[in-house]
Amino acid sequence: MLDINSLLLPFIHLLAGICFIGLHIGIRANAIFYFCENENALIKTLNILRRQIYTFFILMIIMALSTIYAIIDNGTNPMFNTLASTQWSLYVFLTINLSYIYYQYTLCVAAKENKLLICNEKIALIIYYFIPLNILISLIGVLFALIISTII
């Protein structure tokens, strides 16, 4: 039986996942613009990065809530439970990774001396290592979401 939960929740989940991946790809594609040579550009870059980090967390919450409601509706299917559990483990890993990105961001903001050098190192760590890892894990999560949407 097709109801609103079986149609709308997978769509919301996939849309949030695709936006999550797109935001990561946008950051990685424009990596050169995140490195600054003066304090004014650094402040602007940190404000942009802060907004993007908050957007990551909002999209993670949307994906988690849509998965919770899907689990509530389809908790009896063992294949669905296995895929949903695996997807939740991916979400936990992404949340830990995003928390560490936020921690690096706060270290960058809190730096007093050599702020430009420290922030460029932290931003390089985020953009060149954590963003590609998030893209890979998110693509696997979207694959699981597609498989789950066919099961629902």
What are the tens digits of pLDDT across the range 17-71? 899 999 999 988 888 888 888 888 888 888 888 999 999 999 999 888 887 877 7
For tokens 């893209």, the residue is: 135
Q: What are the distances in angstroms from CA 76 to CA 1, 72, 82, 148?
A: 15, 9, 11, 13
**pLDDT, tens digit, 9 for 90 and up, residues 75-106:** 677 888 888 888 889 989 999 999 999 999 99
